[in-house]
């Protein structure tokens, strides 16, 4: 049988409960076990034991339900004030300063799926062709009907202009 507790032994029950609640709160926010342990200065094993206890599982379910209800309330409120927000954007677009009009128009276009291109990726190829290669390309273009006029004839007649005529291909 163990030793009876002495009078100088103290339990920090409140601190333990506070730590457990913080573990649960951080877990509901999506934090990983090791990150919770590091954040609170405890071991990952303690986090695991806490989260796997039946009491903690019930509490996590309650916290998630409360979070979901809050999200529904926020979504309803957004729906209620959306017409006011739209009217404000229209007022800014029609009567604001030029800068405000520009920013409002840009934001609306972005949200409508017509955002400006932010990154343009290009690739270039460098090819060195011989005179025979160029003649071969010209002949194939004539064969498939892509070019019906001889480019060399045009170049000789109009050295400053190069004009291609296609057969509608």
> Alpha-carbon distance 22 to 144, whole Å?
74
Angstrom distances, CA of residue 15 to CA of 3, 12, 19: 25, 5, 6
> Alpha-carbon distance 71 to 62, whole Å?
14
Query: What pLDDT shows up at residue 42?
Result: 93
**pLDDT confidence tier of residue 151, bands split at 50, 70 and 90:** low
Q: Which residue has the tokens 């019906």?
A: 148
Return the ∠ at Cα 117 (arms to 116 and 122), rounded to 5°: 160
Are the CB atoms for 131 and 137 separated by under 8 Å? no
Q: What is the pLDDT of residues 97-118, one digit of tens each?
A: 888 888 888 888 888 888 877 7
Q: What is the pLDDT of residues 33-64, one digit of tens each?
A: 999 999 999 999 999 999 999 999 998 888 88
Question: Model's pTM, two decimal places?
Answer: 0.40
**Is the pLDDT confidence value at 119 over 80?**
no
DSSP state string for 83-147: HHHHHHHHHHHHHS-HHHHHHHHHHHHHHTT-PPP-------------HHHHHHHHHHHHHTTS-
DSSP state, 168? -
């Amino acid at each position: 049988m163990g030793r009876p507790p002495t009078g100088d032994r103290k339990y920090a029950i409140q601190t333990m409960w506070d730590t457990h609640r913080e573990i649960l709160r951080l877990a509901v926010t999506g934090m990983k076990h090791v990150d919770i342990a590091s954040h609170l200065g405890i071991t990952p094993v303690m986090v695991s034991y806490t989260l796997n206890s039946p009491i903690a599982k019930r509490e996590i379910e309650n916290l998630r339900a409360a979070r979901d209800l809050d999200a529904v309330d926020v979504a309803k409120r957004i729906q209620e004030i959306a017409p006011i927000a739209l009217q404000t954007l229209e007022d800014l677009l029609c009567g604001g300063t030029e800068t405000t009009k520009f920013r409002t128009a840009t934001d609306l276009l972005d949200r409508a799926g017509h955002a400006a291109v932010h990154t343009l990726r290009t690739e270039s190829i460098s090819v060195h062709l011989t005179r025979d290669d160029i003649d071969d390309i010209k002949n194939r273009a004539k064969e498939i009907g892509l070019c019906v006029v001889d480019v060399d004839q045009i170049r000789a007649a109009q050295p400053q202009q190069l004009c291609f005529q296609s057969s509608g291909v």
